[in-house]
Amino acid sequence: MGKISKYSNYVLYLLFAITLVYVGMFYFGDVNEDSAYPHPVATDSFLNWANILFWGTIAVTLVFELYHIVMNPKSAVRTLISLAIIAVIVLIAYGMSDDTPLKIVGYQGPDNVPSMLTMAGTMLYTTYILFAVTIVVILYSELSRLFK
């Protein structure tokens, strides 16, 4: 096992331990009874930790992808093709999304506007398309092995 792999395992275990502490605080900690809906006191810190992990993952992924592109410029074409395919999928999902305000009884919130509805629809349809593509690829790879 290389040095980098050893250190990355330590970082993984540390992040996992911190996450377990937050999960424990969320599920077994105190509950705030003073609000309209009782919720765990650690909800904000739990969501902040999830946000840190999300953006940290994106940052590490981008840094290592840029490093890989700089060290292997020929593989940049494959990366650009992947990004173009994802952009086409998102554009297709955007075209399928609807911006008609919903008629929700008793809801007066700020999120029932065309821009938010289009964004939500785009994300949902992107997820549906990627899920369908994943299922097709899994089936194809398993069936192609069967006939080889």
Q: Is the pLDDT of residue 144 over 80?
A: yes
Strands (E), the chain: 31-32, 39-40
Tokens of 1: 């096992």
Tokens of 61: 């992924």
Which tens digit of pLDDT belongs to each residue from 80-106? 898 899 999 999 999 999 988 888 888
Confidence (pLDDT) at 1:
59
The Cα 56–Cα 19 span in angstroms is 14
Mean pLDDT of 14-37: 89
The Cα 137–Cα 142 span in angstroms is 9
pTM to 2 decimal places: 0.62
Average pLDDT over all residues of the chain: 90
